[in-house]
Amino acid sequence: MLALTMGDACGIGPEIVAKSWSLAGPAMVVGSAVVMQRAMACLQADQRSEVVTLSSPAAALQLAPGQMGVWEPLGLPADLLAAPIGRVDVRAGLAAAACIREAVRLAQTGQAAGIVTAPLHKEALALAGEPYPGHTELLQAEGTPPGQAPRPVRMMLANDQLKTVLVTIHVSLRQSIDMVTQEAVLETLRITHASAAQWGLSTPRIAVAGLNPHAGEGGLFGDEEVRVIAPAIAQARAEGINAIGPVAPDTVFMRARNAPPQHPGEFDVVVAMYHDQGLIPVKYMGLDHGVNVTLGLPFVRTSPDHGTAFDLAGKGVADPSSFAQAISMARRLLSGG
């Protein structure tokens, strides 16, 4: 059974969850029943499901077709429905964080096989007092047992043609350059290799993008490739990881794009050095197909590759395609493929 978090109550999260419900398979929504009822009202009458507040997570398996089970976590604001749609609100941030924490608990206790998260708003999360800039960092913290150092995780954005994993995520570009260290690149390669093995790729072809134009041109345009990235690749290869590079970042994604028979990809996945370097190519190929996967967690977690879209919230026009793809990706990862 999958746990689907509703995301920010003031954004499109509840609506895309409602629109994707018929495709979810065995699942439950971790969220607010009244918010999900409001989201269901955006759908045409023949597409709506009856929203049922669950007495326990296991009760989701007993629901009849046409019913959506909602498991309400502790910490939901009593006046959440009063938070204005399409605006940042602390109540939505509090609710989104509570839903994530509960979904992690369900996964850790075996009550959910994986998690699919609808978008949250980072500003609302900050207003709620959360020290984490986004889903990935919060999931990393919650997925670590008490008293242990946070387990290393990485963000992967994927569609049917391209997979890219990031060395650095939600930091400024200036900070990300400082954070591209030999240790960080090597750790990313290890996580990517181990995760791909779980998808059925025992020896994935991992292309490593350079940081600088033309991958530095041997040090002419920056020495990070020579000083940091190449040594990490060499160490990874010594460990049996099929890492290739550094590859010029302006061509590596084109070379990796897998669209047979006309364009079979040279690589299975690309490791990118910073957020926009890796995400722009995937998002350019279509927001309705991209899926965000958190690698390194002890459970499967996927999400759509778009945000809360406050400008569309409450209008009934939000496109659920990426969330549906995230559900499908979670199912494939859980089945080993």
> Do both 229 and 298 map to the same domain?
no
Tokens standing for 277? 């370097």
Q: Which domain holds residue 55?
A: 1-153+289-337
The answer to whether the beta carbons of residues 244 and 207 sit under 8 Å apart is yes
23-68 pLDDT per residue, tens: 999 999 999 999 999 999 999 888 899 999 999 999 999 999 999 9
> Do both 56 and 144 map to the same domain?
yes
Nearest to 181 by CA among 288, 273, 89: 273
Q: What is the pLDDT of residue 335?
A: 85
pTM above 0.85, yes or no: yes
> Do both 195 and 307 map to the same domain?
no
Q: What is the DSSP letter of 226?
A: I
- Identify whether 260 is preceded by a cis peptide bond (ω within 30 of 0): no
Q: Report, as an integer, the average pLDDT of 308-317.
A: 94
179-198 pLDDT per residue, tens: 999 999 999 999 999 999 87
Distance CA 279, CA 331 (A): 23
> Do both 195 and 110 map to the same domain?
no
Question: Angle between the 90-108 and 135-142 helix axes, to the nearest 10 degrees?
Answer: 40
> Do both 17 and 147 map to the same domain?
yes
> Do both 6 and 128 map to the same domain?
yes
The answer to whether the beta carbons of residues 326 and 5 sit under 8 Å apart is no
> Do both 255 and 280 map to the same domain?
yes
Q: What is the DSSP string of 173-211?
A: HHHHHHH--HHHHHHHHHHHHHHHHHTT-SS--EEEE-S
Backbone angles phi, psi at 247, to 5 degrees: -110, 140
Q: What is the DSSP string of 93-140?
A: HHHHHHHHHHHHHHHHTTS-SEEEE----HHHHHHTT---SSHHHHHH
Please give the residue that has the higher pLDDT: either 151 or 90.
90
> Do both 97 and 205 map to the same domain?
no
Question: Which of the residue ranges 89-98, 258-267, 272-281 would you say has the lowest mean pLDDT?
Answer: 258-267
User: How many structural domains comprise the chain?
Assistant: 2
Mean pLDDT of the chain: 93
Is 336 a residue whose pLDDT tops 80? no
Pick the last residue of a domain from 268, 285, 302.
285
CATH of the domain at 16: 3.40.718.10
Q: What is the pLDDT of residue 140?
A: 86
> Do both 89 and 46 map to the same domain?
yes
Q: What is the pLDDT of residue 317?
A: 94
State the first-to-last Cα distance of the chain, in angstroms, to the nearest integer: 17
> Do both 240 and 330 map to the same domain?
no
Q: What is the pLDDT of residue 45?
A: 87
Please give the residue that has the higher pLDDT: either 145 or 207.
207
Is 287 a residue whose pLDDT tops 70? no
> Do both 83 and 169 map to the same domain?
no
Q: What is the pLDDT of residue 79?
A: 96
> Do both 139 and 223 map to the same domain?
no
Is 288 a residue whose pLDDT tops 90? no
Tokens standing for 167? 């060395």
Is 337 a residue whose pLDDT tops 70? no
As to burial, measured by CB atoms within 10 angstroms (0-12 exposed, 13-18 middle, 19+ buried), residue 82 is exposed
